[in-house]
Amino acid sequence: MSSSFADALRARSDAQLASLFAARPDLLSPVPSDLSALAARASSMPSIMRARERLNKFQFDILVAAASLQEPFTQIDLLRVTDKIAKATLELLVEHSLLYADGEKFRMPANVRTLIGENPAGLGPFSTKKINLELLQESPKGALELLERMVWGPPRGQVADVKKANPTIKWLLDNHFLIAFDSQTLLLPREVGMHLRGGKVFKELVAVAPAVAGTTRKQKAIDLAAIANISTFIRWSEELAHHWSDEPPTALRSGGLGVRDLKRTAEHLGVDESCAAFVAETLFLAGLIVIDTDDAILPTGAFDIWLTKSAEDRWHSLVSVWLETSRVAGLVGKGDSKSVAALGPELDRAGIAGLKRALLALLASHPESDPDIASLQRRMKFDLPTRSNDEYITWILREGEWLGITGQGAISTFGKALLAGEDLGVEAALPKPVDHILIQADNSAIAPGPLTIEIGNEMGTLADIESRGGATVYRFTQGSIRRALDHGKTGEGIKDFLKRVSKTPVPQPLEYLINDVAKRHGRLRVGRASSYIRCEDEGLITQITHDKKLEDLRLRKIAPQVLVADFEINELIAGLREAGYLPAVENGTGILISAPAVRRAKNRPRPPRVIAESSAPTPTLITSAVRVLRAGEKASAHKPREVPRTTANETLDLLHQYIEEQASLTIGYADSNGGVSNRLIDPVSISLGTLIARDHATGELTQFRIPRITGVALADSSLE
């Protein structure tokens, strides 16, 4: 009589059960009640698929080879059709419960066979007839060539009509070298396929992972590139959040960031759209930006707290969420309609976090090496064949470089420390912030290093960033000065600030620009009618009404100094600014409104859901789980009889009696929903209406409310 999968698990030692939980942590969520429950979960398709993801290509090939054999099979059977080095892999597959022992032989859980499919390695079904393979030496002309076409799969062929087949096919059918599946389909029996393959399941069985090729780099150069990337990414994050505070994009109805807003953000940061999408996604994951109640995408209050932290803490808070997220920023703009949006709901991909960690661990195992992407992709296809995706690997490497985990393509010291959970050392490596700028004669300013937070925020409002690098170049324009005035600055205040922080004099052309924009700013007043334009300069009103660039606004003149429109005030302001005008907003009493310098979301940070992966269980958790299993198995193997009901007084008397006798009891215990279950316990004491006892199911002291105990009986002696 063959043993079942559950029987095989029962035959395992505690150490073997512990190794199973370590290899397949999903089996611990929650801990099974007994070994039968463990067998059911371990042989379920979802759990088997997770276990399959942990196998490399060689290990999975051996499992496929096992599926090609008739059960039960021996170790010799498996090694004969694969390779003698498969012995260790067979032991691993048994340890992972993808195979199980039946005496000296082995079997496979049914769902493992279902996962592999009906034609493992392209082999057909077993024949129900006895086949004399020696007859193939006497086969008619063309018979072997016909069979060779099906040897490596798929193991099927088509004919017009089996009954009218040519003599060669008829000979193959008569001698059972082919099976007629239906009137038109022929199948190659597995025995024939294995014979023609030379007795091996695979044409080529690769047992050694392919080597990773690359270019050697100096660690110092790697770290210099990485720290520059870290500094740049922190600056991108600050710039994006400040930019969206000034000009918040509106989320799409389906959720996420629109294409035009993404393009505008990329232009502001001076990066391509894929990089801008990644920065936005990272801030979204960290809870530093959020889609607000009015669909505006704004920084949160957490962003202000984040700004006060050290550069190392800021970087760590961003890179740590990237390591754990299941969202793939590289998918933005992809898809059939190219409609996958940043911050949208379509970016989750299960298994991506595991792929990131495996890829970074591989980089860490090749220090001072900038690996060739193609060789990395080949290696990951061997190590994680179910998760590996060439595009995903390219995106992970690109994002790791942006974040500074790598530099010049090689793992940085900071990346190694991050993976090892050690001190990062970022703060000491970053250049010190500077508190001054150098204004040039062409209305530009150079920051010779990273600016302090206060000066950096102010410069981000007053000027546009023109180029980045070791030094940042800012450009003062009419639009940037207008933005500062919108934030409540004054022309004199802007000039005073620049004189204070610049090591060079403020050039006269820049002063003229500031004075001119300040003088013109606010001559137009915009309010709500739906919206209106008011201006004391009737000539300017006439100019606007005849401006062809404003035809889409459909402005109507209702007074010499007043125009009205059906558009919302924000749309009207945007249209006027695009046409080169400098309007300001006024309230219902005609007083100018200065936009707040800082806009923050009303909503609390709401990072997107992350598809969690099973983390490695701690040794303590594994030990506890094995103990619970043993207790549950003991209880289920000797089902306690139904506990007769006892009155409250009888219950107390019996409990006191058995506490003195130190006997094991079976109690009926009602849960909060009214259901009653039998519990096997060792009573310890009674206090304030509560029984304290050791529960055999958990092995721990547990409190039982006495009013919920429906009955008490002495446990069967067999339970002791």
pLDDT in tens, 503-534: 999 999 898 899 988 888 877 766 656 788 88
What are 180's strand-pairing partners?
A: 186
Q: Assign 226 a pLDDT band (cuts: 50, 70, 90).
A: very high
* Burial classification of residue 84, based on how many CB atoms lie within 10 Å of its CB (0-12 exposed, 13-18 middle, 19 or more buried): exposed
What's the per-residue H, E or C state across 519-569? HHCCCCEEECCCEEEECCCHHHHHHHHCCHHHHHHCCEEEECCEEEECCCH
> Given a cut of 70, is residue 636 above it in pLDDT?
no
d(CA 582, CA 493): 19
Sheet holding 179-180, edge to edge: 156-158, 185-187, 179-180
- Cis geometry, peptide bond prior to residue 30 (ω within 30 degrees of 0): yes
More confident residue, 153 or 338: 153
pLDDT digits (tens, 9 = 90+) for 86-139: 999 999 999 999 999 988 999 999 899 999 998 999 999 998 888 888 888 888
273 within 8 A of 333, measured Cβ to Cβ = yes
The mean per-residue pLDDT over the stretch 452-476 comes to 81
pLDDT at 216 over 90: yes
Of the chain, the percentage scoring pLDDT greater than 90 comes to 38
- Residue 518 confidence (pLDDT): 86
For strand 665-670 and strand 592-593, is the pairing parallel, antiparallel, or unpaired? unpaired
DSSP state of 220: H
CA nearest to 345, candidates 332, 359, 354? 332
- For residues 681 and 671, give the distance between their C-alpha atoms in angstroms, rounded to a whole number: 16
Q: Given this model, what pLDDT does residue 717 score?
A: 42
Distances in whole angstroms, Cα of residue 718 to Cα of each of 294, 641, 668: 67, 12, 19
Q: Which two tokens mark 421?
A: 């959970």
Say whether pLDDT at 635 is over 70: no
pLDDT tops 80 at residue 597: no
Q: From CA 490, how far away is CA 585, in angstroms rounded? A: 15
Percent of the chain with pLDDT over 70: 92
pLDDT exceeds cutoff 60 at 720: no
Nearest-angstrom CA–CA distance, 626 and 21: 9
8 A C-beta contact, residue 156 and residue 186? yes
Q: Helix H segments across 286-431?
A: 301-308, 311-324, 352-364, 373-383, 390-403, 413-420, 426-429
Tokens 């909503």, located at residue: 603
Q: What is the pTM of this model?
A: 0.72
